[in-house]
Amino acid sequence: GAGVSQSPSNKVTEKGKDVELRCDPISGHTALYWYRQSLGQGLEFLIYFQGNSAPDKSGLPSDRFSAERTGGSVSTLTIQRTQQEDSAVYLCASREDSNTDTQYFGPGTRLTVL
C-alpha cells in the first residue's frame, strides 16, 4: 500500500517568507508526528496529533511554527517569517494505533532558507 508522502521534496525560500509543508499519512493511521533534522543534529520531535485530541506542541521551537491536521488525515506544518536556522529536513511519520507501534516515515522535505 501507499506509504507516507510529503510535499514538496525540496523547498528553497528567502528569509522572512512563510512556507507550508504537507504530509499525507498512511490511510487509517490515527497518530501523526512531525520531526526535523537540522545540520549536525539528531532528529527532534516537533508536534504530535492523535485523533481528535488536542495536539502536543511541546517540541515546536518558536511561535513561528504551527501545524494542523484536517479531518484526521492530511497535516500541514507552517513556518512563518522563516529564519536561516529553520533550514533542515522536516520528516512526517504516522502510526496505526498502539503507542509502541512502528512509526512509518515519509521521505521528508528539505527546507533551505537563504
- Contacts to another protein by CB under 8 A: 3-4, 31, 33, 35, 41-45, 48, 50, 56, 59, 91, 95, 99-108
- Torsion sign across C-alpha atoms 50, 79, 22, 112: negative
- Closest to another protein by CB, 18 or 96: 96
Contact, 24 vs 84, CB < 8 A?
no
Shortest distance, position 33 Cβ to another protein, whole Å: 7
For another protein, the closer of residues 69 and 95 by Cβ is 95
**Distance from C-alpha of 44 to C-alpha of 37, rounded to nearest angstrom:** 6
